[in-house]
Each structure stands twice: as structure tokens, then as C-alpha cells.
């Protein structure tokens, strides 16, 4: 007679029965009804898989040819805008409307000019720095403060109402290059027509070119240490290349060179 465990089966007896079942291979739980696994049909995974979707056939389209969006010559656009400017205010508006220089996108302000437009002397710098970009005026930072002291030493002042002692200041580039980098050749070229028209409208007796960028724009030449100290012709007028005031902040010993250039400027003014 078969003996079946009753409900009062001890823990040790139940554990022994469980281990015995595992040894027999009874590792999968089943329900109350017996299952004959030999009668089960294992589905074929390949046959049971749904058929792949049929790709929709579409007519082939021709590959589009990429054409540059901006095929305009920025120098030609600048030349046309500058030629239409009859006054300094017209020129300012033309520069504000010029959309082909990438420097404009990162600038806070358009730096146009400072000083007396009737001055006999026109100073041309390179490009605005951080302070100039913030205030919208050229040469207002440390280099500008040094420039004011240098000019005062030869009797010139950007704030003077007298054309004989006044100066007029602008830059080749009206917008600050990122990181105060030097303007690129293409950037100088596209702003060149505006600068040339600027000089025509101010009509100064003498021009001072401060730094390599100013010399590149006005003289088509670089090498400021070689060019400085000798008179040249820029926009049909006598021009004195000299070192940029920022150079003097980095290399104070060069102040003696610029002082000599300013004395030449003073002598030329007195002789005219």
C-alpha cells in the first residue's frame, strides 16, 4: 500500500521529498491536469514568422544639383552701396545695411567713427576691440586712452571743435572680429569701398594708418615696422603708417618710434 504524506508533514520530510523530485528531473512546475509533452507540436519559427513586407516601389527622382545660395560678389555690393552715399550719415546707413560680412553677426555694435569730421587729420585703425564693440566708438579702451595722450602731446584732440587741432577716427572694420583676431583678407577687401568713400567724404589733409590692417586696406601692403616712419600715398592723400597703440601696450619700448612718427605728422601739418 502506497503511503502519501499528510498535512502534518514535517519540514525535514518535505525538504527530502522536494530534493527527491529534483533528482527525478521534475524541475518544471505544472498544473493540476497531466500534460503529455509527446503530443505537443513545436511550432516552426521560420514557418510561423510573418512574411516580410513588400517594399513600395516608387519612381526614381533625379538627384538635385546643389547651387550656392549666395553667388553675389560682396565687394561689388559694397562698391555700389558706398557710391550712393552722399553724406557720412548715408555711409553709416549703407554699412548698417551691408549683410555680406560675417563679422557683423557676432558684433554688438557697428563702430563707425569718432571725432570731428572737419578735422585735417584722419586716423584709420584696424578693428574694434571689446570696449569699442560695447560702446560703439573707436579707440575707447586702454589703447584708445594711450592714443589720446599721444595726440595731446602734438596738440591734437578728437574732441576739439577746431579743425586745425581736431582728429577724426575710424577703423577698416566696423565690427569686432571674434577673439580680437586680425581681420582676414576677404573681410578687408569687402569693406574697402566703404573706407575709400569714408575718406572722400571727410576729405582730410593727412591720414594716419595705425597697424597692418590699415596699411593692407589703404596701401595694399603689410609689414608695419618697415612701412612706419615714411610718408606714403593713400586714397590720393599723404599718409603716415605707424604702429597701433595696442602694440605699444605690449611693447612699451616702441613708443619712441611712434613719437617720431607723430613729430613728422606735426611738421607736415605745420608746413601745409
Could you read off the pLDDT of 14-71 as tens digits, one per residue? 766 667 667 666 666 666 666 666 666 555 555 555 666 665 555 565 554 444 545 7
Residue 247 falls inside a structural domain: yes
For 241-271, what is each residue's pLDDT tens digit?
Answer: 999 999 999 999 999 999 999 999 999 999 9
Which structural domain range is residue 253 located in?
74-271
The CATH number of the domain holding residue 129 is: 3.40.470.10
Residue 60 falls inside a structural domain: no
> Is the pLDDT confidence value at 106 over 80?
yes
Residue 175 falls inside a structural domain: yes
Residues 6+ apart with CB under 8 A from 104: 98, 110, 175
pLDDT at residue 94 in the model:
97
Residue 235 falls inside a structural domain: yes
Q: How many of the other CB atoms lie within 10 Å of CB of 267?
A: 10
Contact 175, 111 (CB under 8 A): yes
pLDDT at residue 72 in the model:
83
User: For the residues 140-158, what does the mean pLDDT come to?
Assistant: 95
User: For the residues 74-88, what does the mean pLDDT come to?
Assistant: 96
pLDDT at residue 65 in the model:
47
For 204-246, what is each residue's pLDDT tens digit?
Answer: 999 999 999 999 999 999 999 999 999 999 999 999 999 999 9
Residue 234, class by beta-carbon neighbours within 10 Å (0-12 exposed, 13-18 middle, 19+ buried)?
buried
Residue 146 falls inside a structural domain: yes
Residue 61 falls inside a structural domain: no
Q: How many domains does the structure of the chain reveal? A: 1
pLDDT at residue 3 in the model:
47
pLDDT at residue 202 in the model:
97
User: For the residues 189-197, what does the mean pLDDT come to?
Assistant: 97
pLDDT at residue 242 in the model:
97
Residue 266 falls inside a structural domain: yes
Burial letters for 51-61: b for 16+ Cβ neighbours within 10 Å, e otherwise?
Answer: eeeeeeeeeee
Residue 148 falls inside a structural domain: yes
Q: In what side-by-side order are the strands of the sheet with 232-234? A: 114-115, 167-171, 121-125, 206-210, 237-242, 232-234
Q: What average pLDDT does the chain have?
A: 86
Amino acid at each position: 500500500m502506497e503511503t502519501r504524506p499528510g498535512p502534518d508533514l514535517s519540514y525535514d520530510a518535505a525538504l527530502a521529498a522536494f530534493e527527491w523530485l529534483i533528482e527525478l528531473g521534475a524541475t518544471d512546475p505544472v498544473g493540476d491536469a497531466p500534460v503529455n509533452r509527446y503530443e505537443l507540436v513545436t511550432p516552426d519559427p521560420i514557418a510561423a514568422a510573418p512574411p516580410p513586407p513588400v517594399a513600395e516601389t516608387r519612381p526614381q527622382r533625379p538627384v538635385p544639383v546643389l547651387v550656392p545660395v549666395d553667388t553675389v560678389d560682396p565687394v561689388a555690393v559694397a562698391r555700389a552701396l558706398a557710391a550712393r552715399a552722399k553724406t557720412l550719415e548715408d555711409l553709416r546707413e549703407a554699412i548698417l545695411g551691408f549683410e555680406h560680412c560675417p563679422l557683423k553677426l557676432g558684433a554688438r555694435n557697428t563702430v563707425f567713427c569718432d571725432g570731428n569730421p572737419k578735422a585735417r587729420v584722419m586716423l584709420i585703425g584696424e578693428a574694434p576691440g571689446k570696449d569699442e564693440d560695447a560702446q560703439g566708438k573707436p579707440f575707447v579702451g586702454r589703447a584708445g586712452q594711450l592714443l589720446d595722450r599721444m595726440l595731446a602731446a602734438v596738440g591734437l584732440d578728437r574732441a576739439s571743435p577746431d579743425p586745425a587741432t581736431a582728429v577724426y577716427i575710424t577703423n577698416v572694420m566696423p565690427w569686432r572680429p571674434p577673439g580680437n583676431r586680425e581681420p582676414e583678407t576677404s573681410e578687408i577687401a569687402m569693406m574697402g569701398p566703404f573706407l575709400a568713400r569714408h575718406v572722400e567724404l571727410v576729405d582730410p589733409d593727412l591720414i594716419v594708418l595705425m597697424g597692418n590692417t590699415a596699411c593692407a586696406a589703404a596701401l595694399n601692403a603689410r609689414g608695419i615696422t618697415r612701412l612706419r616712419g615714411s610718408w606714403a600715398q593713400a586714397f590720393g592723400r599723404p599718409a603716415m603708417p605707424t604702429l597701433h597703440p595696442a602694440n605699444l601696450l605690449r611693447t612699451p619700448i616702441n613708443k619712441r618710434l611712434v613719437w617720431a612718427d607723430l613729430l613728422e605728422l606735426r611738421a607736415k601739418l605745420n608746413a601745409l
